Structure 1
Amino acid sequence: MHLDDKLTPAYFQETPVQVASTLSTLFTASNLSIKVFNLKNSSSEPEIVNTLDQLKGIDIKVLNNKTSALVAGGFDCAWHDLSEYVVKDNGDTPHEDSGISEMKKLWKSSSRITQAIFTHGGQRACVGDLAANMVILDVSNPKDETAFGKVLEKVKVSGEITGLAYSYSVDLLAVTVADGGLTIYSLSSNTPEKKATIGTILADKRIALTHEMGLVDDDSDMSDFSDEDDDSMVTESTLGGGKKQRNNKNNLLKFAASKTVWNPVGDILAVPNKNFKIDFYNVANWSAPTFSLSAGPLHHKDYVSALGFSPNGKYFASISLDKLLLIWDLATKKVVGRTNIPIIGSDITWPDDSSIIIGSGKGQILTIDKDTFNTLVGQRPIRETNEEIKEKVNNRITGEDSDDMGEDVLQSNDEENEEDVNLDRPTSQDLDGFVIDDDDNQRYYGEEDSNRRNHETMSESTELTDFNKRARKEKAGDSHLYRLSIKSGWGRSLTKPFSVGSTPWGGSDRRYLAITSVGCAYTVKTQDFFKITVLFFDEENHRKYFFDDLVGYDICSINDQGSVFATSGYKKNKGFTARIEYKDHSNGRGGETQWIREVTMRPYEFITSLSVYGNFVFVCTNKGFVRKFNLYGRLLNISMMDCIVGIMNNNDYVFTIIKRSIESGYVFNIQNLDGDYIQQEVGIPLITENDLNDDAAEVPIKSMFFSADGEPCVIRNDNLLLVLTKWRDPSSGPIWKPLLDIQEGVSRAGRGRELKAWPLGLFGDSFTFVPFRGSKNYPIFPLLTPMNVDIRIPLSYEDPDKKPRQTREEEEDAELFGDENEKEGPSTNGQTEKPENPEEKFLRTLVLAEMLNDAISNNDATDSDTVEKLQLLSLEYDKTLLIQIDDACTSGDSDDAFELCKMIRDFRALNAAQRLAEVKGMAGLARRVRDLREARVAEEEQEAVDVINSDDDI
């Protein structure tokens, strides 16, 4: 097939062209210019955007009608706002003027920059240079001049960076260096972590780099290289030795691919091997390729120069330096399209699943449109010539060139059939499980087949499966995009699905499903479904895992033992079947699916909250149903309440928040695991407005959890931490106590008012949170390392916007990202934290003591450490009173001091109060304290006598 008529000048000088596209818009980039083409109107002229003088790469990110670009080249990295250039779905362009794009310089390196890519849903940028620097930049808010472009991390890698590839679904970064080495880094934490080193498997670009940068003086000039020079297509190995041949080889080598490519799902990495084949690695195992598309008589006979997956992951395109384009069917690993092209491809983009655009090294682009593509993949099966078959057989006999043999060469029919059967097996554990085929999905998960399975093998409305079964894929086009339903069982929804620590999409392609003190789970939008990743703060006991989500889980609960996911059915109308899946990660397991159940919701019913802890999983709905499952998926109990807003449980109790109607407030219930009520429908002081100026919040809490001592805690939307006390006795009235204004606590501890906190848990008198910055009121990616702050009873409100800045930004960064020279204890501009307020410390100690005493009295805390903690709190309680007594004596108020003395519990503390009064010269107060102490001694002696007499009577 001759494709010269498909070749289009990109209006560049003879420099390599990088390409990227959306369904309607093509972006081409080279030195000085970005060209934007309208794919809906091939006759239209491109828009021109001025950019860097030297350009090595471009990355495009489209989110919420905002289009951004990262460009890198020379010594600079820049950011472009290209929102005004993206072609609308109807083919219209937003404007007619060129050159109005906003460009911001992000970072300037002392060495040449080779690539810049978006990471973390477009919130950050990763830049690589030839000085082996991998730099992470903040690009979350272009309007924030102080934070935009700020360097967050800088990592030295093993060599000159020549390629970067990022997986949005699992937060992995593939870094290629000049010698062909490939290293995998995890970006799921604030500091990039090396996960695997694969070795030097790509083309060695060191010599080509020295030529390109002018560091080698020989008879060759890289600019003299011509695509049309047939001699330049001949490699050194075929021509023999000689300086001219070596130079031509080096000229050509600069176009060998140094970038790897992730599949649309993000769990398979395609690597162009220096042996002219393409290796595919699965993120579950970096020790060896999962499979390879190997070189052979019908395959590439030179270095691969460009490669890319189709958006649906079905096809894979690769181009080699000998101008050969191959289109592979990944389900069969066969070449289904093969043609020579008139250019050496330097970059590939797929606007859709049946068209390809290729950038060249000489300022041109090649378009493989739908008709041409269908002609390529629809041609008769490609057969080897007699000469090729003879060469292949000879190679097998001699054992030569074994790495270049194709997997489909001389394969028997039985072997092919066996391979096809394995490939068609519908299991997420397949090596090719990342390939999405709509026809296959309908065959395996079609409605008719699904109904048949439900009736033949399952109980009504539920399903219990093993972990190898795949989720049924919804056939509706908006399978994961819920449409608004105004009606509900009460005429309007009283709440919405709530997971502890869940965040909105917030203009990104990812969001957190849950954030707890154990870790977090987040989901990423891919082409056809979602990818869920579960991370842990304690990586020694648990390892992170991820899985394909074909049904759109939007609600989650996670703890030390396992995690449970569900499709809530929020804003669905009638006939929705919710799916619940439990995964076990105890004992270091990698998230094995233990069971899956399906529950058909009533009209306008949806799952509002989940909870997993200990041996049970609880699932609640807005219609008041509470289902209790064990860890084997067996339904143990079902009960009814009003509309349930949120639920949590520990090893002993279940805590729920409910709402009766739109006008009513919120109440809570506490039950034991058998369902008996400890407290029933008691008021809880929540606010229905959202004080954080976000959209109206249907759920009036930010988080909820049991403290380490077993007390229910709730975080209101105004960042106030409430703890429930005196609740274990059903006959008593429980009391909510405010323990901390979270934002004030973070600022007080010297972190600065710019730092925000996402709540995790309460451990004794220490509050744990995840720090974050930005204009949003929830964490973005990646999740930073948790921090602690001591609790303080909020005695008065301090507006953080009016509070003076407490620390320089550099000191905040030291707190946020770690500092080797960090001193113990919080500080503010070199000053230690101001002394504690004695009144606050008194109240705080009283609350903590009340909680521990209540737990001990009701046998919820029997270990000796708890009793010891209570004794220490009792001493602290008396100390805080002595401090206030000293203050009252200093002011001369003896009555105030005596009232405080009556609250002292320990005799030694009363003696100290008496001596304090004497030192202060308050003889009357000292006498009254002495009389008080003697009266208590007499009272205790009388009680002892009464006890002895009662024993004698018995």
Structure 2
Amino acid sequence: MSVVDKSVFDSGGRTTLALAQDNAHLCVGSKIGIVKILNTERVQDEPRVLEVVKDLTSVCFGSKDDSKLLVTSVTGDAYLYDARDEGSTGKLLTRSVLPLRDCQIIHSDKYAVFGGDDLQLTLIDLDGGDRNTLKTEEQVSSLSYSKQSNILAVSFINGKVQFFSVSSAVPNKVHELKDYIPKHSYVDSGDDALLTDVLGSDKEDTDVEADTLEDDKIKDPTFCDNNRICTKVAWHPNGLFFALPTKEGGVSIFDIKDYKLQKTLSPTAKGKLFCDLQFDTKNGNYMAAIDLDGQLTVWDWKRGEVKLARKIKQDITHLVWKIQESSGQFDLILGTWNGSIITIKSVLPVIDSKVEEPLTSAGGEKNLFVEDDGNSDDEAKGSNLVDGEAEDDNGEEIDDENLFTQEDDINEGKRKYHFDDEDDFIDDDDGAGYVSEKKYRKFEDTSVNTFHNYNSSRSRYAPKPFKYKPFSAGATPFASGDRRYLTMNEIGYVSTVKNGDQNSVTVSFFDVGRFREYHFEDLFGYDVCFLNENGTLLAQSRMGQINYRPHNSLHSNWTKVIPLLDGERITTIAATPKMVYIGTSFGYFRIFNSFGVPVALEKMTPIVALTAQDYKVFTVHFSPLHGLSYSLFEVHTDTSKYFQRECPLPITMPQAYAGRVEPDFLSSNPLGIKSLFFSSYGDPCIFGIDDVLLVLSKWRSGAQSRWIPVLDSNFELWKMSGGKDHTDVHVWPLSLNYDTLNCILVKGKRIWPEFPLPLPSEMEVQIPVLVKSQLLKEYNKEKKERAEAGLDSDEDEDKDEETEVTIPQNLAAEEEFLRSKILSGLLQDTIVNDGELFGNENRIIASLIGMHDKSLLRLFAIACSDQNPERALSIAQELKQDKALTAAVKVSERAEMLSLVQKINDIREARFNQQMDNM
């Protein structure tokens, strides 16, 4: 272990450090407005020098893009610089009248968050420039962000630490810790330093000569203990633990699961506050901290062992861990107050595997985040995780039969398969080209090809099978990132983040007043998920392992492994407060109760998607020979009843959108089903690649059931945008509540939501009966007439692009008539079979009947004005209420259509007689 002291700034002063994610570039900032980017792997290279804002308070690299460099200052300015461009002048992101103390880049470098003395947190979209602010009760001391758990920790000068979930667009406070970190306030002038000179310093004497002390004396006027004290939260690399510097001079380590204290570390020299502390950046096995007197301590924190204790003579500002790529050793780099950096080389070896001993909590419980049965351990042995899915030891896909290997030559060795990156999921039988071409293994008997003289390329290669993929409602692909949503519905969403050989899972909720977000470590690479009001069900599709986690910590988790045949995988799962349902690619349908006890087993056509509500189950099947079908049935512990059994499912397949859907989405979801769910009144719904919401009507009777399109979301977006075809706004469905689709409006090129998740939106059901060209013609005609009449101002013309397309009265009446008829039919079917669910169904039916007759009367009036008695009579026959027929008579009389009046009166009389006969 050697120590290297390197002068970076001859002018001296406080140096601020930040190490890029590539582990090679170190940012060293000076308060004089200079930042130097050092290449730590090639020390002979000249550093890149950037001129930045003066009086720096913090610097921060992007987590994915090392060219993004954030800088904050005492003057309240925050800039974004290009760290690879020495001529970068920086982009001013925000300006505060008071100092900004810290900054963080979050959400894969899409957003930046700032905090300081102005009693607010500021979030800025680095691409779009949108800004959100969140008021705070006290001045911000420091910020710390964990991308694994998506939690922002905010330290305040009053000693409080608040934790905010930034999974959604608006940060949500999830926890607060008090009386752990020291209270302090920053000093931005030399007054405190002058006071220190008068009263003297309690810094221990050293054996350094007096002239050396005089040379090394800190000349920075802001040098004082208040400006050196560390209050920043240090995050473990997996995001499941964090450390706080305590006011007693120790280190307290907590778990993120329930924010409970797990361990307290004490340095060899007690009583001094810390100026920085950090977990190592590899596996988080070590914790390094340095106090105000320069006492550096490194612990193996899980065992509580001190691995290194060393006194540093210089006054330290920050420390960072760095991995030596060549030797596999850790270095510690320290920033100082005299313009130099200190590198302690080969402090400890990098431990690739995690510490064998599980962490023991204060209560003595082990395995805090993984509760599993004994048999699950055996199932997991010998398996690795590749992109979140299981891979066997030789790197080949877990498929004992190896039916469809893709080896160009049997002597080339076996090829590794990355399951989340497969794009050979479906046979491009129509030649549309929406899947990328790949080499396939030729038939070994080449004489067959020679004999038949095959010319087509397809005959020379093995056939490509359909690859069954794990499906969860609302799930998104990893694409090029390291995180994705495992599932999403009206209750909340479950997200996972890749973290080396394990994942971190976060369960978030839209109703933060009812539920509390929680996190856990995923050692198995769960890739299927279902979220309900009581708990979260997860599954590893290839291992056959399922894990149920109640939201309420009073109930215990349970883990189970189901048997899978060679080549079989779990494709979809669902859970209700009553039952747990598991479907596989071979069509095995397994039912467990809410505690994991097996209840029933059935064999079906291969299952690709399912959802459940209480005892009702809606499954989607796919077979390359028979296509898409669905089943709808009810399962109790002792009885079951089918309403629909493997009937054709009329949804649009991805082939119809060849070239218009991203391959990343189709590789993880080959059938293009974005979500399926039961409506609030228990009707099955499905939302496919065409962005049309289908609802199953009369599903209790097989002969009468039919799928009804109740909403074309693309048409609604077109209408709301003033008739413009936008390709950067998409709808991601969550649920159907009576006549309203709850959804996420996604902005950007990708059709699925990314991080952070926008707040849910609502879209009213509109039956797709309108024609765009006809509406646009009427809309433009109306705008022209208003302009000619002088009714539109210049300001109104500027807002044309934001004005919703208005629907002509006659077309709106047709849509309202059909919508009221469909919705009342769905609701009446529910009332007849299940009774009133919420107590207001009959009132809703009455309002729907009223809307039904009003819309018909508008159509009736138009028909009468056009002197079209046949059309008018056909409309009158659809009227349900007698008072509506009376109104139709008056309209007919006003139009002087006496024969129509007589026919309507005959209808009234016939209905009256029918009512009398039924009494």
Work out whether the TM-score is over 0.5.
Answer: yes
Q: For residues 512-661 of structure 1, what are the structure 2 equivalents within 5 Å?
A: 512-569=485-542, 577-585=543-551, 589-590=552-553, 592-661=555-624
Kindly provide the amino acid, as one letter, of the partner of residue 71 in structure 1.
V
Matched, 1:154 2:133: yes
**1:104 match:** 91
Matched, 1:725 2:697: yes
Using the TM superposition, give the Cα deviation of residue 308 of structure 1 relative to its aligned residue in structure 2, in angstroms: 0.5
**2:336 match:** 360
Q: For residues 30-69 of structure 1, what are the structure 2 equivalents within 5 Å?
A: 30-31=29-30, 32-63=33-64, 68-69=68-69
Kindly provide the amino acid, as one letter, of the partner of residue 258 in structure 1.
T
Aligned partners of 1:582 and 1:775: how far apart in 2? Answer: 35
Using the TM superposition, give the Cα deviation of residue 484 of structure 1 relative to its aligned residue in structure 2, in angstroms: 3.9
Q: Residues 433 and 319 of structure 1: is their aligned pair in 2 closer, same or farther, counting only changes over 3 Å?
A: farther
Matched, 1:330 2:301: yes
**1:818 match:** none
**1:680 match:** 645
Q: Residues 12 and 596 of structure 1: is their aligned pair in 2 closer, same or farther, counting only changes over 3 Å?
A: farther
Aligned partners of 1:544 and 1:559: how far apart in 2? Answer: 14
Q: For residues 492-531 of structure 1, what are the structure 2 equivalents within 5 Å?
A: 492-531=465-504
Aligned partners of 1:120 and 1:27: how far apart in 2? Answer: 22
Q: Residues 488 and 747 of structure 1: is their aligned pair in 2 closer, same or farther, counting only changes over 3 Å?
A: closer
Contact 1:474 1:551 survives alignment (8 Å): no
Equivalent of residue 819 in structure 2, options 830, 834, 844: 844
Using the TM superposition, give the Cα deviation of residue 630 of structure 1 relative to its aligned residue in structure 2, in angstroms: 1.1
Contact 1:25 1:36 survives alignment (8 Å): no
Aligned partners of 2:719 and 2:686: how far apart in 1? Answer: 21
Contact 1:618 1:629 survives alignment (8 Å): yes
Using the TM superposition, give the Cα deviation of residue 839 of structure 1 relative to its aligned residue in structure 2, in angstroms: 0.3
Q: Percent identity?
A: 25
Which consecutive unaligned segments of at least 5 residues does structure 1 have? 86-97, 235-243, 378-421, 455-462, 464-468, 570-576, 806-826, 945-954
Aligned partners of 1:13 and 1:435: how far apart in 2? Answer: 50
Q: Residues 785 and 841 of structure 1: is their aligned pair in 2 closer, same or farther, counting only changes over 3 Å?
A: same
Measured against aligned partners, the alpha-carbon deviations of 1:802-854 in whole angstroms (never above 9, x if no partner) come to: 9999xxxxxxxxxxxxxxxxxxxxx9779999878110000101111221233
Q: Residues 331 and 895 of structure 1: is their aligned pair in 2 closer, same or farther, counting only changes over 3 Å?
A: same
Contact 1:202 1:274 survives alignment (8 Å): yes
Using the TM superposition, give the Cα deviation of residue 870 of structure 1 relative to its aligned residue in structure 2, in angstroms: 3.1
3-state DSSP class of the match of 1:269?
Answer: strand
Contact 1:123 1:780 survives alignment (8 Å): no
Kindly provide the amino acid, as one letter, of the partner of residue 163 in structure 2.
I
Matched, 1:10 2:8: yes
Contact 1:504 1:512 survives alignment (8 Å): yes
Contact 1:746 1:789 survives alignment (8 Å): no
Aligned partners of 1:708 and 1:103: how far apart in 2? Answer: 51
**1:476 match:** 384
Equivalent pairs, count? 799
Farther-moved stretch of structure 1 (66-75 vs 491-500): 66-75
Aligned partners of 2:499 and 2:775: how far apart in 1? Answer: 39
Matched, 1:28 2:27: yes
Q: Residues 507 and 51 of structure 1: is their aligned pair in 2 closer, same or farther, counting only changes over 3 Å?
A: farther
Contact 2:233 2:245 survives alignment (8 Å): yes
Contact 2:358 2:367 survives alignment (8 Å): no
3-state DSSP class of the match of 1:671?
Answer: strand
Contact 1:260 1:270 survives alignment (8 Å): yes
Q: Residues 196 and 832 of structure 1: is their aligned pair in 2 closer, same or farther, counting only changes over 3 Å?
A: farther
**2:458 match:** none
Contact 1:190 1:785 survives alignment (8 Å): yes
Q: Residues 195 and 679 of structure 1: is their aligned pair in 2 closer, same or farther, counting only changes over 3 Å?
A: closer
Measured against aligned partners, the alpha-carbon deviations of 1:198-245 in whole angstroms (never above 9, x if no partner) come to: 345444542xx33x34577957899x99x99969999xxxxxxxxx99
**1:171 match:** 150
Using the TM superposition, give the Cα deviation of residue 725 of structure 1 relative to its aligned residue in structure 2, in angstroms: 1.2
Q: Residues 477 and 655 of structure 1: is their aligned pair in 2 closer, same or farther, counting only changes over 3 Å?
A: closer
Aligned partners of 2:772 and 2:365: how far apart in 1? Answer: 57
Q: For residues 552-951 of structure 1, what are the structure 2 equivalents within 5 Å?
A: 552-569=525-542, 577-585=543-551, 589-590=552-553, 592-661=555-624, 665-673=627-635, 674-689=639-654, 690=657, 693-695=661-663, 697=666, 698-730=670-702, 732-745=703-716, 756-796=730-770, 798=772, 837-859=812-834, 865-941=840-916
Using the TM superposition, give the Cα deviation of residue 507 of structure 1 relative to its aligned residue in structure 2, in angstroms: 4.0
3-state DSSP class of the match of 2:699?
Answer: coil
Q: For residues 397-412 of structure 1, what are the structure 2 equivalents within 5 Å?
A: none
Contact 2:387 2:418 survives alignment (8 Å): no
Aligned partners of 1:919 and 1:475: how far apart in 2? Answer: 82
Q: Residues 782 and 831 of structure 1: is their aligned pair in 2 closer, same or farther, counting only changes over 3 Å?
A: same
**1:70 match:** 70
3-state DSSP class of the match of 1:925?
Answer: helix
Using the TM superposition, give the Cα deviation of residue 581 of structure 1 relative to its aligned residue in structure 2, in angstroms: 0.3
Aligned partners of 2:35 and 2:46: how far apart in 1? Answer: 13
RMSD of equivalent CA atoms: 4.3
Equivalent of residue 109 in structure 2, options 102, 119, 122: 122
Q: TM-score, normalised by structure 2?
A: 0.77
Using the TM superposition, give the Cα deviation of residue 164 of structure 1 relative to its aligned residue in structure 2, in angstroms: 0.5
Q: Residues 10 and 525 of structure 1: is their aligned pair in 2 closer, same or farther, counting only changes over 3 Å?
A: farther
Measured against aligned partners, the alpha-carbon deviations of 1:663-710 in whole angstroms (never above 9, x if no partner) come to: 754221212215543222322222222586322620322111111111
Using the TM superposition, give the Cα deviation of residue 56 of structure 1 relative to its aligned residue in structure 2, in angstroms: 2.4
Using the TM superposition, give the Cα deviation of residue 593 of structure 1 relative to its aligned residue in structure 2, in angstroms: 4.3
Contact 1:173 1:187 survives alignment (8 Å): yes
Aligned partners of 1:520 and 1:253: how far apart in 2? Answer: 42
Aligned partners of 1:183 and 1:845: how far apart in 2? Answer: 49
Measured against aligned partners, the alpha-carbon deviations of 1:841-885 in whole angstroms (never above 9, x if no partner) come to: 001011112212333444576886434433442333222211211
Q: TM-score, normalised by structure 1?
A: 0.75
Aligned partners of 1:307 and 1:644: how far apart in 2? Answer: 51
Contact 1:122 1:508 survives alignment (8 Å): no
Q: Residues 925 and 248 of structure 1: is their aligned pair in 2 closer, same or farther, counting only changes over 3 Å?
A: closer
Aligned partners of 2:615 and 2:17: how far apart in 1? Answer: 60
Aligned partners of 1:365 and 1:870: how far apart in 2? Answer: 75
Q: Residues 688 and 264 of structure 1: is their aligned pair in 2 closer, same or farther, counting only changes over 3 Å?
A: same
Using the TM superposition, give the Cα deviation of residue 933 of structure 1 relative to its aligned residue in structure 2, in angstroms: 2.2
Contact 1:117 1:125 survives alignment (8 Å): yes
Aligned partners of 2:831 and 2:516: how far apart in 1? Answer: 36
Kindly provide the amino acid, as one letter, of the partner of residue 611 in structure 1.
A
Kindly provide the amino acid, as one letter, of the partner of residue 608 in structure 1.
T
**1:304 match:** 274
Contact 1:557 1:612 survives alignment (8 Å): yes
**1:392 match:** none
Aligned partners of 2:348 and 2:139: how far apart in 1? Answer: 37
**2:784 match:** none
Which consecutive unaligned segments of at least 5 residues does structure 2 have? 211-216, 324-328, 391-416, 427-462, 781-800
Contact 1:29 1:55 survives alignment (8 Å): no
**1:401 match:** none
Contact 2:16 2:59 survives alignment (8 Å): no
Aligned partners of 1:332 and 1:195: how far apart in 2? Answer: 29
Matched, 1:269 2:242: yes
Q: Residues 776 and 53 of structure 1: is their aligned pair in 2 closer, same or farther, counting only changes over 3 Å?
A: farther
Q: Residues 747 and 345 of structure 1: is their aligned pair in 2 closer, same or farther, counting only changes over 3 Å?
A: farther
Kindly provide the amino acid, as one letter, of the partner of residue 780 in structure 1.
E
Aligned partners of 1:281 and 1:113: how far apart in 2? Answer: 27
Contact 2:240 2:255 survives alignment (8 Å): yes
